[in-house]
Amino acid sequence: MKKKGSAVWQGGIKDGQGKISTETGVLKDAPYGFKSRFETGPGTNPEELIGAAHAACFSMALSLELGNAGITAQNIATTSTITLDKVGEGFAITAAHLDVTVTAPGSDKDAVQKAVDNAKVGCPVSKVLNATITMDSKIEN
């Protein structure tokens, strides 16, 4: 399986503008630029898109892990916070932190926590990130 995303950039780093799109059309020419990435400005940025992809991937991976344990969650709510730091002469994504709340009434908390931990390392987006990935989980049953 291969999925595509695309971007077009015009202009210099600070005064330029870009547009980002996805193959499915969910994002179509969504604006991004220096201000939306490093300051406060309209548009999106690569880090928040990676965060959204990480949160979505993790939630699906957790659903699979829970299902393998015979548990169906009523709700999985995940946020991934991506950290972009100055490293040397450039920038690098240095960390991703997952915050997840799992609502699984009547489930065994230890089994849910094991599924959460397995999903953290098993999620394909977690595997692609060359960053420290941390997590806080909250289990409601």
> Residue ranges per domain, the chain?
5-38, 46-140
pLDDT tens digit sequence for 42-99: 899 999 999 999 999 999 999 999 999 999 999 999 999 999 999 999 999 999 999 9
Query: 108: which residues sit within 8 A by CB, 6+ positions away?
Result: 71
Q: For residue 71, give the nearest of 63, 80, 82 by alpha carbon.
A: 63
Residue 12 phi, psi (nearest 5): -80, 175
CATH architecture of 46-140: 2-Layer Sandwich (3.30)
Q: Which secondary-structure segment (H or E) carries 31?
A: strand 30-32
pLDDT of res. 117: 96
**DSSP symbol at 44:** B
- Spatial contact of 54 and 125, defined as CB atoms under 8 Å apart: yes
Under the banding of pLDDT at 50, 70 and 90, the label for residue 31 is very high
